[in-house]
Amino acid sequence: MGSGYLGATHAIGMALLGHDVVAMDIEKEKISLLSSCELPFFEPGLGELLRKCMESGRLRFTTSYDDTVEADIHFVCVGTPQLPGSLNADLRWVETAFTELARRICSPAIIVGKSTVPTGTARRMAEIVRRHSSDPRVEVAWNPEFLREGRAVEDTLKPNRLIFGVESPHAEKLLRAVYRPIIERGCPVVVTDCTTAELTKVSANAFLAMKISFINAMAKICEATGADVLPLTEALGYDDRIGRRFLGPGLGFGGGCLPKDLRALCACAADLGLDDVALLIRQVDSINLSRRHRALVLGRELLGGTYVGKRVCVLGAAFKPNTDDVRDSPALAVGVAAHAENAHVVIHDPVAMNNAKRAHPELEYAETIVEAASEADLVMLLTDWTEFIDMDPELLSTTVRSRNIFDGRNALTPERWHAAGWNYRA
Ligand code: UGA
């Protein structure tokens, strides 16, 4: 149920494991693209696997709930975006999926939630199922998904763990059977209750967000004291209790998951009366957002104090490299803020331009790095795509008006840029 990023990838993964899969979505356009072997989003390597599954006859797509009733196991993979004007997640699609399935299923099937949801959702879904299903044996389980955009194929076929939130041995047995090839390759399985399974996913994302905000908090101290956050990060990373990954200081996190999951967890902690927990989570969010403002300030300093009338080349629109997803993108947020300060902003991104244009038609877009940097007073690297990291400072010097570069991801080698006569800030 749900053939977006999570659902389409999961459906392809299940078909590759040898199961017969029907993937459903209410969006006709999405289903018609997928049915003709086209992905509605950018994900390296997934398109080929989609074609392979369609050719094998083990995967098909539909817009009708009725086509899904005969399945032994249903995975609910619909979106849970942030509710406008609230920290909470919008659960309407999860509720609809469980309700519509429960109304139709009349055999002892299992409905497994994969969507990221606030704690307690599975319990509520079990009530919905009890109310609407004609078969009392229909069960609810939770099996959270940890895939990263840009690495979806690897994360789906070789996950680093499987979490089964189950309320009966039968549900565990069925999930083990579904994932057998992955489990046989040695993937650890944690079997627990539904509530713990739900919380596992949210707390994993909150921890990753906290690591990024922690190093960005240290970056603030470094800036205030003249210390250097990069060797600091390297030194911390050698301690394997801390680890180097997700300790990259810079513009911070964005996307459709970390920010909204963090906010939903904050709302959940506040509802539970756990004010200290809510405060911790809120600070992680607030430190992260403060990085966007800091980027804007550093850019303004490079421009000599004002954005008004200046040409600013923004490199990156996606929230991270290897995706075309621009949801809560720090790069776009900075571009929009510079535009609001009356800069002439020109954006380039290798794959996310169409999504960015749809979200921000007021900004200007260029097809190449050189075109975007033409006559620029400032170049801002805001998403760490390889092609931006590999840019030649000498070549770029010939196209810009002023050699000012802001490196929002600590991705460039400052010495190279200094040597080519650039003012470099990170
Ligand atoms: C995240 C989690 O990593 C997945 O495990 C999870 O399944 C997924 O959310 C989800 O809930 O569906 P994703 O949103 O694809 O995956 O993005 P990440 O790779 O986690 O990156 C998040 C953000 O953190 C990006 O904006 C990235 O640029 C930023 N980041 C990452 C940093 O600012 N510093 C770092 O050191 C690492």
pLDDT digits (tens, 9 = 90+) for 136-154: 999 999 999 999 999 999 9
Pocket test residue of 80, 145, 212 for ligand 1, highest count of atoms within 8 A of CB: 212
Mapped onto helix, strand or coil, the DSSP state of residue 139 is: strand
In this structure, the number of other CB atoms found within 10 A of the CB of residue 172 comes to 16
- Catalytic pick among 222, 257, 268, 313: 257
DSSP string, 170-224: HHHHHHHHHTHHHHHTT--EEEE-HHHHHHHHHHHHHHHHHHHHHHHHHHHHHHH
Assess whether 257 carries a catalytic annotation: yes
Do residues 373 and 416 share a domain?
yes
The tokens of 114 are what?
Answer: 């994969």
Q: How far apart are CA 336 and CA 296, in angstroms?
A: 10
CATH number of the domain that 257 lies in? 1.10.1040.10
Dist. CA 212 → ligand 1 center (Å): 10
Q: How far apart are CA 80 and CA 393, in angstroms?
A: 42
Assigned domain for 112 exists: yes
Assigned domain for 197 exists: no
Encode pLDDT of 19-65 as tens digits.
999 999 999 999 999 999 999 999 999 999 999 999 999 999 999 99
**Res 127: pLDDT:** 97
Assigned domain for 252 exists: yes
Answer yes or no: is the C-beta of 417 below 6 A from any ligand 1 atom.
Answer: no
Do residues 62 and 87 share a domain?
yes
The position carrying tokens 């802001």 is: 406
Encode pLDDT of 339-349 as tens digits.
999 999 999 99
Q: How far apart are CA 181 and CA 410, in angstroms?
A: 40
Instruction: Return the C-alpha torsion angle 347, 348, 352, 358, nearest 10.
Output: 30
Do residues 237 and 324 share a domain?
no
> Residues, the chain, total?
426
Say what angle helices 194-225 and 275-302 make with each other, to 10 degrees.
40
Which helix (H) or strand (E) covers residue 365, if one does?
Answer: strand 364-365
Dist. CA 258 → ligand 1 center (Å): 6
Do residues 95 and 182 share a domain?
yes
Owning domain of residue 377: 294-425
* Total count of domains within the chain: 3
Q: In which band, very low, low, confident or very high, does the pLDDT at 106 lie, cut at 50, 70 and 90?
A: confident
Do residues 256 and 369 share a domain?
no
Assigned domain for 152 exists: yes
Beta strands in 217-327 (DSSP E): 311-315
For residues 421 and 403, the answer to whether their CB atoms sit within 8 Å is: yes
In this structure, the number of other CB atoms found within 10 A of the CB of residue 187 comes to 14
Do residues 176 and 206 share a domain?
no
Closest CA to 215 of 409, 50, 29, 403: 409
Do residues 210 and 185 share a domain?
no
Q: In which band, very low, low, confident or very high, does the pLDDT at 350 lie, cut at 50, 70 and 90?
A: very high
Pocket test residue of 151, 162, 258, 289 for ligand 1, highest count of atoms within 8 A of CB: 258
For residues 115 and 80, the answer to whether their CB atoms sit within 8 Å is: yes
**Res 100: pLDDT:** 96
Encode pLDDT of 150-208 as tens digits.
999 999 999 999 999 999 999 999 999 999 999 999 999 999 999 999 999 999 999 99
